Amino acid sequence: MKSRFYLIAVIGLLISGCSTTTYKMFDDNKSAIRTVAETDYNQETSFEWKISKGDRLEISVSNQSSSNGNDELNVLLHNTTRYQTRDGTDGFLVPTDGAVRLPLVGAVKVEGLTETEATEKLTNEYRKYMKNPFAIVKILNQKLFVLGEVNKPGVVQVTNGTMSLFEALAYSGDLTNDAERTNVKIIRGGLRKPLVREINLANIPQMQLTSLILQPNDIVYVQPRDMKSYNVAFKEQMPFFEMLSSMLAPFVSYTSIKNGKAVDVFLFK
């Protein structure tokens, strides 16, 4: 009996000593937002990203001319120029002063402008040198980040200015089996004072009270379930228990025939 008790105690100590390291980030729920006012939601649906320092821009400039004297028919010439950096990186990097340097017009400040506003400004600048200029400005590096319990965590490119949470999760290969679906976090803003929003994907009425619209540079974090640490620890300890089981199996019990019946005889009593 004592030997069996010691064996159980040793196994219990091994299990209790398994790692229970937390796998959660941003686990402070005190300041999280769970509902979004209607006015804030309407602003998010009409959100348009403004050019900021560090953005990369694709800028195309063309000249238009009339055809056969018909002023209503403008033909886009094939002399469109696509500007790239010297090392081949797409687009112009917006420097710290917020102005891009372009042929003919020189430095043009575009920081704080939307794509539409920047396009209009460049068109007006090139009108000083061209009769019918046509400019296009596109922001190339709009992206957000999906972390945590998704199958393909990483950077997700935003091509339409905004993206829904479900689109981002679809790009990331959906949630894993260890994902906590009742507390998905959207982190927005500066790292010193981030705005944290919590989404419950398991409750449609709660989703209707919040906003699932993501903006560039947002961080989507899918937390793991509380059981993940125990599951990981159990998997880590499995080889040891398998080895222990194979070593002790011949010494723990054997089967004998007594009075015509099979009886398990335990050595540890």
pLDDT tens by residue, 157-195: 988 888 999 999 999 999 998 899 998 999 998 777 888
Per-residue pLDDT tens digits for 202-215 = 998 888 888 999 99
Whole-number pLDDT of residue 249: 62
* Same domain flag for 160 and 44: yes
Whole-number pLDDT of residue 99: 94
* Residue closest to 135 by CA, chosen among 157, 112, 119: 119
* Same domain flag for 61 and 134: yes
Domain end call among 109, 139, 169: 139
* Same domain flag for 42 and 157: yes
Mean pLDDT: which of 45-59, 126-140, 163-177 is highest?
163-177
pLDDT over 70 (residue 128): yes
Q: Hey, which residues does 197 pair with through a beta bridge?
A: 33, 186
Residue 162 forms part of a structural domain = yes
pTM of the predicted model, to two decimals? 0.68
**Contact call for residues 222 and 175 (beta carbons, < 8 A):** yes
Q: How does the average pLDDT of the chain come out, rounded?
A: 76
* Same domain flag for 43 and 149: yes
**Contact call for residues 97 and 131 (beta carbons, < 8 A):** no
Whole-number pLDDT of residue 92: 85
Range of 9's domain?
2-18+228-266
Residue 77 forms part of a structural domain = yes
Per-residue pLDDT tens digits for 214-242 = 999 999 999 888 776 555 655 665 665 56
* Same domain flag for 98 and 42: no
Residue 101 forms part of a structural domain = yes
Domain count, the chain: 3
Domain end call among 115, 139, 163: 139
* Same domain flag for 212 and 97: no
**Contact call for residues 156 and 146 (beta carbons, < 8 A):** yes
Residue 75: band (very low, low, confident or very high) from pLDDT cuts 50, 70, 90: very low
Write out the E strands in 26-162: 56-67, 70-76, 81-82, 92-93, 99-102, 106-109, 133-139, 143-148, 154-157
* Same domain flag for 42 and 151: yes
Q: Please report, for residues 15, 147, 203, the alpha-carbon distance to residue 240 in angstroms, rounded to integers and kept in the order given.
A: 11, 32, 41
pLDDT over 80 (residue 265): no
Residue 109: band (very low, low, confident or very high) from pLDDT cuts 50, 70, 90: very high
Q: Please report, for residues 57, 185, 206, 217, the alpha-carbon distance to residue 35 in angstroms, rounded to integers and kept in the order given.
A: 35, 13, 8, 21
CATH number of the domain where residue 170 is located? 3.10.560.10
* Residue closest to 57 by CA, chosen among 82, 80, 39, 33: 82
* Same domain flag for 133 and 245: no
pLDDT over 80 (residue 37): yes
* Same domain flag for 8 and 115: no
Residue 212 forms part of a structural domain = yes
Give burial (CB, 10 Å; 0-12/13-18/19+) of 50: middle
Residue 71 forms part of a structural domain = yes
* Same domain flag for 171 and 42: yes
Residue 24 forms part of a structural domain = no
Residue 30 forms part of a structural domain = no
CATH number of the domain where residue 120 is located? 3.30.1950.10
